[in-house]
Amino acid sequence: MALWQANRVRDLLLSTHGWDDDRVQIKILKTKGDQIKGHLSQFGGKGLFTRELEDALIDGRIDLAVHSMKDVPTVGQDALMIGAVLERADPRDAFISNEVSSVLDLPHGAVIGTASIRRRAQLARLRPDVDFCLLRGNVGTRLAKLETGEFIATFLACAGLKRLGQEAVITQAVPPELMLPAPAQGAVGIELRREDARARDAVEVLNHRDTMLAITAERAFLNALDGSCRTPIAALATFAGSDLSFRGEVIATDGSKHYGTQSHASVSTPKEAFDLGFGLGQEVKAEIGDIVLWDSSIGDGA
């Protein structure tokens, strides 16, 4: 998926600016997040997917880093910035099963393979009778394990499967009303050095305004709640004209508690989007108080 995203940005830069093929080169860097087999929080959280790329930006080995925005920490390094966000793909979760047709059709006691603490919490709230096992790895690895019968179903992001041409494996695109996606799910961002005006000018034409504003609100909500990969937080913002509709929630890891919020507002600038999401996050945080919702034996992951 990371390579697909990098090639997509490269192709857009070449076609938009009319550059020769050798003008943009791809440098593949392995991150710790790609190599870890256990729970991410045991090794430093989601920043493991971006840290090596940011180090390479800062020391000048690369000029642009391409990220899945749901993996980017909400507090970044001062020397770096997100220069552009591509138009968002389908943000919904993909439910995948060879035995049942939807989340709600899972049999009692079904075992679900996932490493996402958010998906576990949401599914535990919908179906407290199901069980979970840890599942990480690329798309092929996860689908192969599904075939062996280790679990009855798993989840991936619709956006990633569609980008890889594997939409056919999606059993159900889960409606956000059932399972709200992770903040910024489906969005690809381009990070660069803040002082690099040449790179900033090159990528800004690729920025999709509505996507940028939507994920700014979602990530601000996450930021206000001090969200990490141990925190079951979901959010989705969508536009209709200039009106932004926002929904966000925090769920206990065992599904027993749920705190949600929603809002509709006219938003036209990143600051307005940030203020909306951050304010809603602060309201939810005040409602939660001192209750620790994510300290559970269920586990954690990305």
DSSP, collapsed to helix, strand or coil, labels residue 230 as coil
Predicted confidence at residue 229, as pLDDT, reads 55
CA distances from 102 to 4, 39, 116, 132 (A): 28, 27, 18, 17
Predicted confidence at residue 39, as pLDDT, reads 47
Compute the chain's Rg from CA coordinates. Answer: 19
Q: Whole-prediction pTM value?
A: 0.89
Q: Assign a CATH topology to domain 93-173.
A: D-Maltodextrin-Binding Protein; domain 2 (3.40.190)
Measured in whole angstroms, the distance separating CA 248 from the mean position of its chain's CA atoms is 14
Catalytic residue among 11, 34, 63, 71: 71
Report whether pLDDT(153) > 90.
yes
Report whether pLDDT(291) > 80.
no
Predicted confidence at residue 29, as pLDDT, reads 86
- Pick the residue with more confidence: 101 or 298? 101
Predicted confidence at residue 296, as pLDDT, reads 45
Least confident of 36-50, 130-144, 169-183: 36-50
Kindly report, residue by residue over 17-73, the tens digit of the pLDDT.
Answer: 999 999 999 998 876 545 445 444 444 455 666 888 999 999 999 999 999 999 999
Predicted confidence at residue 32, as pLDDT, reads 55
CA neighbor of 280 nearest in space, from 220, 212, 210: 220
CA neighbor of 229 nearest in space, from 33, 37, 45, 72: 45
What is the rounded average pLDDT of the residues 130-144?
A: 87
User: What percentage of the chain has pLDDT greater than the value 90?
Assistant: 73
What is the rounded average pLDDT of the residues 276-296?
A: 80
Tokens of 192: 């660069």
- Mean pLDDT over the full length of the chain: 89
Neighbouring CB atoms inside 10 A of 75's CB total 10
Report whether pLDDT(285) > 80.
yes
CA distances from 19 to 12, 16, 44, 85, 203 (A): 10, 8, 39, 20, 13
What is the rounded average pLDDT of the residues 218-229?
A: 85
| pLDDT band per the 50, 70, 90 thresholds, residue 141 | confident
Amino acid at 187: A
Helix (H) or strand (E) holding 286: helix 270-288
CA distances from 299 to 230, 251, 291 (A): 8, 14, 18
Domain ranges of the chain: 93-173
| pLDDT band per the 50, 70, 90 thresholds, residue 301 | very low
**Annotation marks residue 71 as catalytic:** yes
